[in-house]
Structure 1
Amino acid sequence: MSRRSGGLIGVWAEQQRVAQRQREGQHQAVLRQQRDAERTQRAYERDVARMQREQRAAYRQQRDADALRRTQELDQRVALLESLLAEGCRAPAFGVESLRREEDVEPFAPGPLGEPVAMPDQRFYRPQEAWTASGRAQAERDARARFEHDWYAAQAAEARRVEQLAAYRSAYDAWAAARRAEIRAHNSGVDGTVAALRGGEADTVVEYFTAVLFASTAWPEGFPREVSAAYDRSGRRLVLDWDLPGYEVVPEAKGVKYLPSTDQEKEVPRPVTQRRALYRDVLAQSVLLAVRELFAADRFGSLDGVALNGYVGGVDPATGLASRVCVASVVVERSVFDRLNLELVGAVECLTGALAGRLSARPEERVAVAALVTPDQVGSDVVVQGDGEEPDLLAMDPIAFEGLVAELFRARGLQAVTTQRSGDGGVDVQALDPDPISGGSIVVQVKRYRNTVPPSAVRDLFGTVQDKGANKGVLVTTSKFGPGSYTFANGKPLTLISGTELVDLLHQHGLRGRLGGTAPEAVPASAPAPAPAEAAEDFNLLGMVWSGSAALDVCALVCAGSRVLGDEWFVFFNNPATPDGSVAMVAAAPGDRAAVRVGFDALPARADRLVLVAAVDPEVNPEADLGGFTEAGIRLRDDSGVELDRLEVSDGRPGETALVLGSFRRRAGGDWDFVLGGKGYRGGLEELVGDFGIEVE
């Protein structure tokens, strides 16, 4: 029988065996960890590879989808061109009767003024309890006195209500009468237009039918709308030169493919013969459609025939100069044209065959044809719209003017069409901004005025925006707006475009228009009026400083007492200077947040104070108030910029959005002293300027 060895050797041997087992266990643990790490790494690499494959597949699908989308867009564009004539024939024809306006005015709505003031009921005026007869008598007298006091106050309030209601009713009746008179005058003008068309008055016929082409909704986006015309009264024939689209209207590419090997998109070219044939067909369709629009709009027998020459603009490769080439021409009698079924004809065959017209065999190469008859051969009074000399916006036909405004919106990337006049609800142009974030529906009103647009027009536009559920309203005019209009529009989804701004926008987008007899130079709307020499020699700079993050507008009012001298004497963001330049908004010096330049000696003699105000900009900070307007002051500097004084102004208060900072007041000796302001307004700049006589309806 064996026995366990003892002693030190045995203990040492056992320790060696335990240590060996520990080392082997640790080694096995390390091996297990390595195997687990390797398995984890392999699983991670498999996941990464799968994710990369999925990403590559998703990326390729996205690129394939983009290529397919572009191909579909090309197909849709070609389909639109191929069906131009058929779709155009289905569009409603323009009629002069759509110009009429209904004599509908807003009903009289007095609101709270229509509710009589409630009279006090004596039953609720009970005397207080008293222990003695004299106390009870005194209590009855007190109750009677309270009743009589409230009764007389209610009677006075009712009298004021009746007086205000009568004044409001009188103002409404005057407004309604003026509105009806305006509508009747407009309709009378429409009747005059109808009579002139029936009588074959040349000017009216030309203006009406050129406007018909401009107002038509049958033309795709990007097609030119430029025309010159004359009317042969003896033959009752309208002769026009009408611009046609260039060769680029037909897409050069037939489709788009994605090439994974190079990670690029490749356009598949459209066969040249197919592109040339389609372009020639588009030109023929355009000529036939224009003739159809003219005949369809003739409800008065003004046109027995139409002669139309189609021109294409571009650069002449022989000279490198811009030129127009006649590529189509037709003379057609109405009796012949009415027998055609335009939705089924082959456009080229119809134009060159049935109507014996001319069409260039190679229009893409600008090969010209001879015009059969031109407007110049009919008479000297040729009306040009959209071509040649800048058209006078003030003298332009109203329909053509609305069409030009719609064209401007389209040039800015929006979808825009003019509306039918009957039942348009105060909307002249309907526009849609396709941007998914900032876009939406836009209603546009067009005012071809010579005088300042009244604030009531801006108010009416805001009502139309609300009624139509539009995202924004735009008022376009050939004249200008007063401070009351800008103040009312401030903070609302409204944009006001004055005549000078309209001309600038037209020129920026390659369109034409001028105001008056000569084409004015474009002047930025924000440029301050030049200061007179005497003001420039001696002026002060008023630099505004304040703490707080809210965006503020600093404005100035030149007043006599508490009333501004006139709308043009209110200096703000849309009227940066007074007429004489004595007060103007200027760039702020370093450290200032706003600045106003003032020539105190140049101010009108009737002005005795210059009031400075600040208001929260509702477009930048719609929820802000003046609670954070602190540490505010005015740095008074001389004309060299040297600081003369610092004038402290009151802090703003929560809930208020406009504040009178202070006023410089003329003293008897001609000097000016500063008087601290501090009056705040919860209704913003609109309420503030109303206190100074600016009309904001």
Structure 2
Amino acid sequence: MSRRSAGFVATWAEAQRQYQRRIEAEQRRRREEARLARDHQRRAAQGHREYRQAEAGRRTEELDARVAALRGLLAEGCRAPAFGAASLMRVEDVPPFDPGRLAWPVNMPDPSRYQAQGGWTAGRRAQAEAEARTRFEYDWHRAQAAEAQRQQELAALQRDHERRAEAQRAEVRRHNDGITEAAAGVGRGDPGLVVEYFSAALYASAAWPEGFPRQVAAAFDPAARQLVLEWELPGYEVVPEAKSVRYVPAQDQDKETARPVTQRRALYREVLAQSVLLVLHQLFAADEYGTLDSVALNGFVDAPDPATGRQSHIFLATVMAERAAFTGLHLEQVDATSCLTEALRGQITTRPDQLTPVRPSRRPQDVGNQAVPHGGGQEEPDLYDMDPIAFEALVADLFRAMGMQAVTTRRSNDGGVDVDALDPTPVRGGKIVVQVKRYRGTVPPTAVRDLYGTVQDAGANKGVLVTTSGFGPGSHTFARGKPLELIPGGELVDLLHRHGLRGRLGERGRPASAGPAAPVPETSSEDHNVLGMTWSGNVALDVCALVCRGNRVLDEDHFVFFNNPRTPDGSVRAVPASGPDKAAIRVSFDGLPADADRFVLVAAVDPEVNPDADLSGFTDACVRLLDPSMTELGRLEVSDGRPGETALVLGSFRHRPSGDWEFVLGGKGYRGGLEQLVQDYGIEVE
């Protein structure tokens, strides 16, 4: 079956992080209120000079406290609870049934209250008694009818409560089953799930001080059981430039004493080393499944390159830590810099204030396509250059190594099947048809559709499409929920190595140049998708796109909106929408910049058309995935808008280590409109 996306793990980690942010915001509010109260008391009780001196002392205390927190970053972070799948589990906390007024039966009339009134004669007395009985019977029938109505309403309300309670319990069970399934995938070493899980562990951590960045890019090498990641480190400004503050009465102003440059540089270097060690600690502490044997970590800052002036990732620290070596450390007692450089044999820049870089070790983009030797000293065969028949035979060998029966088919009359496989496993096994595509460009969705037709014609249990390249969102959308499995080039290499076979993709993971007789088709210049946006409601919206690395847009030119309708390379552009769509974005995923790993779609209320509107009327929304001929390949549901919010992250296409782009649902809303949203992605709004 196709690999399940674990985007929901990151979603719940985001929810956990939002909760933490609300707590931090409340703590800041309380601190500010306390400070204002102290200021008021000081002003009332002291003269101007005494107040200014006290205020300078308070600012010095704050500087000392910030420095103390930086020095204790690692020790304090190690006390934070370890991340685990259990923290994402939800409880079936269904509120008890509350019938309200329907809980009380209707009071039946009391016969003693219906006595005959008057009647001095026998005839008049009989008439009065008859009238009393009539009133009693009338009221009794009314009460009986009211009670029957109450019981009907009570039963209906109880049934509705049971339905809603069962739906809520079912949703909790589905969520928990998804977490359990994802956790099992992490235990199995599924690369995508491993990356999602450990990225969530870092992102949701409460160990990082307020203001520290949380940008991560990662990949998992299942053959080496190694997580390879890049983590953003805090900038030089995290260390206060001032050492102390004193009040100068003669000038009636505060004067800051600068922290010595050497002291500030040393403290910043210590913070960087502590940050790297803390990341390693959090990863190994969260590894309750024993998935990781080692972690290759490169720490960077996102800053202008001193050599070019362009914003880029500048690596200031790098380390490869084995689990056995790391878990034997007593982190609360180590000198962070010595531990990183001596005990773990890592590297850290000697002049971090000048952004002097170190050479990073293994990087996430190297995983999957990198050749890993497996004994014998023989050269890994390049899958691009292999004879087509030999390549199909290699795929058949892989299926046999995985415990299946597999044979290659004839070159003619094979019905679109390159390898016939049989999985002998009871219940989930059966006949499998395999197609092999040696492509350099993205496999088109038509190939996946053809495979599905072949599966149906052959009466197979599953179809598998193996390629040396990757698959676009259209292919994944079509394959979702069908008995199809898509294996891109990076995953193919990992599977080969995991089962003792050999193969690589080009020179050091880069596709080899196509010779004149190369049988590998190239991607067409028309290989793009159109993302059509449709929704209910009459609110006017601007649909925009951001080309990002992590949660930061590459630069302002890669923010496509009404004033910038295309990126410089034309890989993303706004195009006119055709019915039923209300907005459309064209994107060539293969044409996105090499350092981009996320393509984010957002929507915001148009303040010129609907200045007072919010997103409460934004419902029934979806993204239609279209091919170049405007044929619909699938639909991606997105979250509804909420009252008070004027901008919303619809979702993002994320570049997986396998080379595929997969859609992850968004849902984060903003009350400050598009300006507040893009600021979250690193765009400064003037």
Which residue type is aligned with residue 524 of structure 1? Answer: V
* Cα separation, partners in 2 of 1:139 and 1:503, compared to 1, 3 Å: farther
Displacement of 1:135 after TM fit?
A: 2.1
The answer to whether residue 319 in structure 2 is matched with residue 330 in structure 1 is yes
Displacement of 1:202 after TM fit?
A: 0.4
The answer to whether residue 271 in structure 2 is matched with residue 282 in structure 1 is yes
The answer to whether residue 213 in structure 2 is matched with residue 224 in structure 1 is yes
Displacement of 1:369 after TM fit?
A: 0.7
Which residue type is aligned with residue 186 of structure 1? Answer: H
Displacement of 1:134 after TM fit?
A: 2.3
Contact kept, 8 Å, 1:529 with 1:578, in 2: the verdict is no
Which residue type is aligned with residue 297 of structure 1? Answer: A
Partner residue in 1 for 2:153:
164
Which residue type is aligned with residue 101 of structure 2? Answer: P
Displacement of 1:234 after TM fit?
A: 0.7
Matches of 2:162 and 2:181, distance apart in 1: 28
Which residue type is aligned with residue 167 of structure 1? Answer: A
Identity over aligned residues, as a percent?
50
The answer to whether residue 315 in structure 2 is matched with residue 315 in structure 1 is no
Partner residue in 1 for 2:98:
109
Secondary structure of 2:605's match? coil
Residue of structure 1 aligned with 2:604, choices 515, 520, 523: 523
Matches of 2:545 and 2:308, distance apart in 1: 31
The answer to whether residue 81 in structure 2 is matched with residue 95 in structure 1 is no
Residue of structure 1 aligned with 2:54, choices 59, 65, 68: 65
Partner residue in 1 for 2:192:
203
Displacement of 1:320 after TM fit?
A: 2.5
Matches of 2:536 and 2:301, distance apart in 1: 40
Matches of 2:94 and 2:616, distance apart in 1: 33
User: Which structure 2 residues correspond to residues 590-601 of structure 1 after superposition, within 5 A?
Assistant: none
The answer to whether residue 236 in structure 2 is matched with residue 247 in structure 1 is yes
Matches of 2:345 and 2:224, distance apart in 1: 19
The answer to whether residue 172 in structure 2 is matched with residue 183 in structure 1 is yes
Displacement of 1:321 after TM fit?
A: 2.0
Partner residue in 2 for 1:127:
116
Displacement of 1:525 after TM fit?
A: 5.6
Secondary structure of 1:523's match? strand
Matches of 1:318 and 1:108, distance apart in 2: 68
Partner residue in 2 for 1:304:
293
Matches of 1:110 and 1:209, distance apart in 2: 45
User: Which structure 2 residues correspond to residues 239-638 of structure 1 after superposition, within 5 A?
Assistant: 239-379=228-368, 519-520=600-601, 523-524=604-605, 528=609
Residue of structure 1 aligned with 2:226, choices 224, 237, 243: 237
Q: Which has the higher contact order (CA 8 A, sep 6+)?
A: 2
Matches of 2:541 and 2:343, distance apart in 1: 47
Select between 343-352 and 112-121 the one with higher mean Cα deviation: 112-121
Identify unmatched segments of 5+ residues in structure 1: 1-53, 382-391, 396-477, 487-497, 531-552, 554-571, 580-616, 619-697
* Cα separation, partners in 2 of 1:191 and 1:573, compared to 1, 3 Å: closer
Secondary structure of 2:333's match? coil
Which residue type is aligned with residue 523 of structure 1? Answer: A
Matches of 1:510 and 1:297, distance apart in 2: 26
Displacement of 1:524 after TM fit?
A: 2.6
Matches of 2:112 and 2:124, distance apart in 1: 20
Aligned-residue CA RMSD (Å): 3.9
The answer to whether residue 131 in structure 2 is matched with residue 142 in structure 1 is yes
Which residue type is aligned with residue 120 of structure 2? Answer: W
Contact kept, 8 Å, 1:529 with 1:577, in 2: the verdict is no
Identify unmatched segments of 5+ residues in structure 2: 1-42, 371-472, 477-532, 561-583, 588-598, 621-642, 645-686
Contact kept, 8 Å, 2:605 with 2:615, in 1: the verdict is no
* Cα separation, partners in 2 of 1:319 and 1:233, compared to 1, 3 Å: same
The one-character-per-residue Cα deviations of 1:61-80 (angstroms, maximum 9, x if unpaired) are 11112111111111111111
Displacement of 1:118 after TM fit?
A: 1.1
User: Which entry has the higher C-alpha Rg, 1 or 2?
Assistant: 1
Secondary structure of 1:343's match? helix
The one-character-per-residue Cα deviations of 1:456-506 (angstroms, maximum 9, x if unpaired) are xxxxxxxxxxxxxxxxxxxxxx999999xx9xxxxxxxxxxx9989999x9
User: Which structure 2 residues correspond to residues 18-37 of structure 1 after superposition, within 5 A?
Assistant: none
Contact kept, 8 Å, 2:340 with 2:347, in 1: the verdict is yes
Displacement of 1:523 after TM fit?
A: 3.4
Contact kept, 8 Å, 1:198 with 1:302, in 2: the verdict is yes
Partner residue in 2 for 1:538:
none
Contact kept, 8 Å, 2:541 with 2:606, in 1: the verdict is no
Contact kept, 8 Å, 1:252 with 1:269, in 2: the verdict is yes
The one-character-per-residue Cα deviations of 1:315-374 (angstroms, maximum 9, x if unpaired) are 233332212211100001000001000000000000001000000010110111111211
* Cα separation, partners in 2 of 1:99 and 1:380, compared to 1, 3 Å: farther
The one-character-per-residue Cα deviations of 1:566-615 (angstroms, maximum 9, x if unpaired) are xxxxxx77668999xxxxxxxxxxxxxxxxxxxxxxxxxxxxxxxxxxxx
Matches of 1:219 and 1:479, distance apart in 2: 39
Matches of 1:211 and 1:174, distance apart in 2: 33
Displacement of 1:141 after TM fit?
A: 1.6
The answer to whether residue 69 in structure 2 is matched with residue 80 in structure 1 is yes
Partner residue in 2 for 1:693:
none
Partner residue in 2 for 1:567:
none
Select between 66-75 and 206-215 the one with higher mean Cα deviation: 66-75
Matches of 1:91 and 1:361, distance apart in 2: 29
Contact kept, 8 Å, 2:541 with 2:604, in 1: the verdict is no
Matches of 1:211 and 1:268, distance apart in 2: 41
Matches of 1:510 and 1:60, distance apart in 2: 46
Matches of 2:176 and 2:618, distance apart in 1: 40
Which residue type is aligned with residue 235 of structure 2? Answer: G
Which residue type is aligned with residue 605 of structure 2? Answer: P
Matches of 1:479 and 1:262, distance apart in 2: 63
State the TM-score, normalized to the length of structure 2: 0.51
How many residue pairs get matched?
379
Matches of 1:228 and 1:55, distance apart in 2: 53
Secondary structure of 1:285's match? helix
